Amino acid sequence: MRRKVYTIFLLIVLLCIQDAALTKAETVYKESLTLDVAIFKTMKCYLDTELSVTTPNGPFDASEFTSDPEFNSFYVFCYLVWGGDVPVDASGSPIYNITFCTDVQVYVNGIEFAPTLHGLRIAEALNSKIENMFNIVLTYFPERIPAMDIPYTDLYSFISNVSVVDQFWDIFKTFNFPGFSQLFTSNANIEAGGMELSLEKIDGSFLWTYKIRFGLYGPPRIEFGQEYTLSLNDILNRSEDISSALGSSASNVRVEFWMGNENWTFVPLGVEPIMIKSQDDVPRRIVFSTDIAGSRITDIKIRFKIIEKPENYLAMYVTVVLLGAFSSAVGYYLVKRHRIRSSSYGL
DSSP string, 93-143: -B---EEEEEEEEEEEE-BTTB--HHHHHHHHHHHHHHHHHHT---EE-TT
Q: Name the phi and psi angles at 222, rounded to 5.
A: -100, 130
Domain assignment present for 323: yes
Q: Are residues 347 and 266 in the same domain?
A: no
Domain assignment present for 11: no
Least confident of 20-34, 67-81, 221-235, 290-304: 20-34
Residues with Cβ < 8 Å from 153, sequence gap 6 or more?
Answer: 72, 107, 108, 109, 110, 146, 147
Other CB atoms closer than 10 Å to residue 268's CB: what's the count? Answer: 15
What would the mean pLDDT of 299-311 be, rounded to a whole number? 87
What would the mean pLDDT of 78-95 be, rounded to a whole number? 56
Going by C-alpha positions, the residue among 138, 110, 109 that lies closest to residue 124 is 138
Alpha-carbon span 8 to 2, nearest angstrom: 10
Q: Are residues 199 and 322 in the same domain?
A: no
Higher pLDDT among residues 71 and 328, named by residue: 71
Q: Are residues 198 and 341 in the same domain?
A: no
Q: Are residues 321 and 184 in the same domain?
A: no
Higher pLDDT among residues 310 and 46, named by residue: 46
Domain count, the chain: 2
Domain assignment present for 51: yes
Structural domain boundaries, residue 125:
24-312
Share of the chain above pLDDT 90, in %: 49
Share of the chain above pLDDT 70, in %: 71
Whole-number pLDDT of residue 284: 84
Q: Are residues 327 and 188 in the same domain?
A: no
Whole-number pLDDT of residue 316: 42
Least confident of 158-172, 203-217, 331-345: 331-345
Mean pLDDT taken over the chain? 78
Q: Are residues 327 and 278 in the same domain?
A: no
Whether the CA torsion 215, 216, 220, 224 is positive or negative: it is negative
Q: Are residues 286 and 347 in the same domain?
A: no
What would the mean pLDDT of 306-325 be, rounded to a whole number? 55
- Beta-carbon-side half-sphere exposure of residue 146 (alpha carbons within 13 Å): 21
The yes-or-no verdict on residue 16 having pLDDT over 50 is no
Domain assignment present for 127: yes
Domain assignment present for 13: no
Whole-number pLDDT of residue 18: 32
3-state secondary structure of 259: strand
Whole-number pLDDT of residue 216: 77
Whole-number pLDDT of residue 97: 54
Least confident of 49-58, 143-152, 316-325: 316-325
Whole-number pLDDT of residue 19: 36
Domain assignment present for 133: yes
The yes-or-no verdict on residue 125 having pLDDT over 80 is yes
Q: Are residues 334 and 297 in the same domain?
A: no
Q: Are residues 34 and 92 in the same domain?
A: yes
Least confident of 5-9, 197-201, 225-229: 5-9
- Amino acid identity of residue 201, one-letter, is K
What would the mean pLDDT of 81-95 be, rounded to a whole number? 51
Q: Are residues 335 and 258 in the same domain?
A: no
Q: Are residues 235 and 328 in the same domain?
A: no
Whole-number pLDDT of residue 198: 97
Q: Are residues 99 and 141 in the same domain?
A: yes
The yes-or-no verdict on residue 287 having pLDDT over 60 is yes
What would the mean pLDDT of 79-93 be, rounded to a whole number? 54
Radius of gyration of the chain (CA): 29
Domain assignment present for 303: yes
What would the mean pLDDT of 48-67 be, rounded to a whole number? 95
Domain assignment present for 160: yes
